[in-house]
Amino acid sequence: MKFLCDEMLGTLAKWLRILGYDTEYVKDRDDEELLRIAREEGRIIITRDKLLAKKAGNALYLNEISLEKQIASVLEHFNLKIDEDKLLSRCTICNEIVIPIEKEKVKEKVPENAWKSHDKFWICPKCGKIYWIGSHWKNMKERIENIRRLP
């Protein structure tokens, strides 16, 4: 399942990537172009624009403001589960699949304490951002678990 988030849903797009979903995020495009991208790439539009959702047909209209509720709505609507093996498999910035990189190669690129306390690192082949499962991911996991507990 692939998504396309409209420009009001940038944070949601980032989170869907964290959860491992192929999610495009486009800014400064008109509705026709959004619809064209969704059609060509087989993406479901997630939007806060009722009219756009109507035009797209295959879309999810979100009226929730809070990020947690937005994520919960997406998961519920498409009957998706959080797959922990997929967490952190995509770059949060450019949606590329990240690839493992040897620890030695990232020494100069990550904070010293992160390098010392972790053995596994991944890199985005497109933008070069380096990922590791540090405390920031644990915080995110907690947030995800809070989402799951929402009624």
Q: What is the binding site for Zn ion (CB under 5 A)?
A: 91, 93-94, 124, 126-127, 129
- Shorter beta-carbon distance to Zn ion: residue 75 or 106: 106
Distance CA 86, CA 97 (A): 10
**Could you tell me the smallest distance in angstroms from the CB atom of residue 91 to Zn ion?**
3
**Could you tell me the smallest distance in angstroms from the CB atom of residue 94 to Zn ion?**
4
**Could you tell me the smallest distance in angstroms from the CB atom of residue 99 to Zn ion?**
11
- Shorter beta-carbon distance to Zn ion: residue 115 or 131: 131
One-letter amino acid identity for 28? D
Distances (CA, A) of 15 to 55, 58, 113, 119, 146: 25, 21, 25, 24, 14
- Shorter beta-carbon distance to Zn ion: residue 103 or 129: 129
**Could you tell me the smallest distance in angstroms from the CB atom of residue 127 to Zn ion?**
3
- Shorter beta-carbon distance to Zn ion: residue 25 or 72: 25
Distance CA 18, CA 33 (A): 26
Of residues 66, 122, 124, 137, the one with CA closest to residue 93: 124
Kind of pairing between the strands at 99-101 and 59-61: unpaired
Q: What is the 3-state secondary structure (H, E, C) of 121-145?
A: EEECCCCCCEECCCHHHHHHHHHHH
**Could you tell me the smallest distance in angstroms from the CB atom of residue 97 to Zn ion?**
10
- Shorter beta-carbon distance to Zn ion: residue 57 or 125: 125
